[in-house]
């Protein structure tokens, strides 16, 4: 139940990728048959990814990850259009890769502003609008937050940015393949292969036709000169296949996961006192349940559940190695101890009703045992 950290490669995706490791091994830049076969496969994948988000194939730039795409979309665009001004506005709950790009840009002399969120993790559009001025180069608000599951009003945020002639980027890593997306209102969009049940090590950035970004990797001019380096053909083919499957199966899978998600939330919060849902109750990704438990640490819960065969997380996979409380939960106004006592369940294709029932059955005993060990637990909960 930690599909936010990593998803298995869909067997159909692996089947599509396999020939490009050994049989069709050409370089897409080569001017011969093997090269043409590889180029054709890359172009097909580009179209599949574009179709998932309502874009044109020529607007897709393949990268090594969503992290690189965030760096390219935020840093590359900001450095390309410096004549516009020096202000950048990010939501306070952006992925750590986006926030760290902002920190680097700050060191380069840019002014960084952070738009707050409400108690349910939704970006406050009025506050966002107050931060955007005529010196704003770029605004970035994610499509949905993968940690708390809250879907963001990114299209409305894009309108706010464009009213001041600022560019708009959205990180759609957690949202793509989960909810329908359109690019008509955005300038840049980040995507991740593995979050679509494709291979790790591949991502993509949507770059609206007519816009440019300053390259971060220089070389032979691949990907229209935006991202040089020989293309990872098997990985790109895998991302394309995963995007195609997501387009076809997203609605049905979303409905299935929503039923499982709601059963999990209801079962856990009703059976355990002082357990609460983090994030918006309805405007949330179909696979996400973020629940906090008073008087215990999330890390202790993770280790205890792992021994029972239940794999969960305490936050974003890219920040899990730190002992700091989630910046997302803190931005929502939670105290340190509340943020530390939160668990993230992210469901996937392999999960079924039996799994949900097992988790609901095991959680009360685990929480009760850990609370009994804590000196902070009040007597009525022991």
Residue numbers annotated as active site: 318
For 276, the enclosing helix (H) or strand (E) is strand 275-278
Centre a 10 Å sphere on the Cβ of residue 362 and count the other Cβ atoms it contains. 15
Angle (deg, nearest 10), helices 233-271 and 33-52: 30
Helices within the chain (DSSP H only): 11-17, 19-22, 33-52, 66-70, 77-80, 96-107, 125-131, 154-163, 233-271, 298-306, 327-331, 336-340, 353-373
Centre a 10 Å sphere on the Cβ of residue 108 and count the other Cβ atoms it contains. 11
**Backbone angle region of 279, left / alpha / beta, with phi > 0 → left and psi within -120 to 50 → alpha:** left
Of the candidates 201, 207, 203, the residue with the CA atom closest to the CA atom of residue 226: 207
Centre a 10 Å sphere on the Cβ of residue 353 and count the other Cβ atoms it contains. 12
Residue count (the chain): 382
Centre a 10 Å sphere on the Cβ of residue 106 and count the other Cβ atoms it contains. 12
CA count, 13 A, side-chain hemisphere, 257: 25
Q: What residue has token string 């220089």?
A: 218
Round to whole Å and give the CA distance between 320 and 25: 37
Round to whole Å and give the CA distance between 15 and 31: 27
Of the candidates 271, 273, 265, 309, the residue with the CA atom closest to the CA atom of residue 291: 265
Round to whole Å and give the CA distance between 373 and 382: 9
Tokens of 230: 């020989």
Q: What is the DSSP letter of 223?
A: G
Round to whole Å and give the CA distance between 310 and 329: 23
């Amino acid at each position: 139940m930690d599909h936010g950290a990593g998803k298995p490669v869909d067997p159909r995706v692996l089947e599509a990728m396999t020939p490009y490791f050994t049989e069709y091994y050409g370089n897409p830049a080569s001017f011969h048959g093997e090269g043409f076969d590889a180029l054709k496969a890359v172009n097909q994948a580009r179209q599949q990814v574009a179709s998932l988000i309502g874009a044109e194939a020529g607007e897709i730039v393949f990268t090594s990850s969503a992290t690189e795409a965030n760096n390219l979309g935020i840093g590359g665009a900001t450095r390309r259009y410096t004549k516009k001004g020096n202000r950048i506005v990010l939501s306070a709950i952006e992925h750590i890769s986006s926030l760290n790009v902002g920190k680097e840009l700050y060191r380069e002399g840019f002014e960084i502003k952070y738009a707050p969120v409400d108690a349910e993790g939704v970006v406050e559009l009025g506050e966002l609008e107050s931060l955007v001025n005529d010196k704003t180069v770029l605004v970035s608000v994610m499509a949905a937050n993968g940690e708390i599951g809250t879907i963001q009003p990114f299209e409305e945020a894009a309108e706010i940015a464009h009213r001041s002639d600022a560019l708009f980027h959205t990180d759609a890593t957690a949202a793509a393949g989960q909810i329908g997306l359109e690019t008509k209102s955005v300038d840049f969009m980040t995507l991740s292969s593995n979050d679509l049940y494709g291979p790790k090590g591949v991502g993509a950035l949507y770059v609206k036709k007519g816009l440019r970004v300053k390259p971060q990797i220089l070389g032979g001019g691949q990907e229209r000169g935006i991202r040089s380096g020989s293309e990872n053909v098997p990985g790109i083919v895998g991302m394309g296949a995963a995007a195609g499957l997501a387009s076809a199966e997203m609605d049905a899978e979303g409905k299935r996961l929503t039923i499982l998600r709601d059963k999990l939330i209801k079962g856990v919060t009703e059976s355990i006192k002082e357990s609460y849902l983090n994030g918006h109750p309805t405007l949330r990704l179909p696979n996400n349940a973020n629940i906090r438990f008073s008087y215990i640490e999330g890390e202790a819960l993770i280790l205890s559940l792992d021994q029972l065969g239940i794999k969960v997380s305490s936050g974003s996979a890219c920040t899990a190695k730190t002992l700091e409380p989630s910046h997302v939960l803190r931005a929502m106004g939670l105290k340190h101890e509340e943020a530390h006592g939160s668990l993230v369940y992210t469901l996937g294709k392999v999960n079924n009703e039996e799994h949900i029932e097992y988790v609901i059955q095991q959680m009360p005993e685990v929480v009760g045992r850990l609370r009994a060990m804590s000196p902070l637990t009040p007597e009525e909960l022991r």
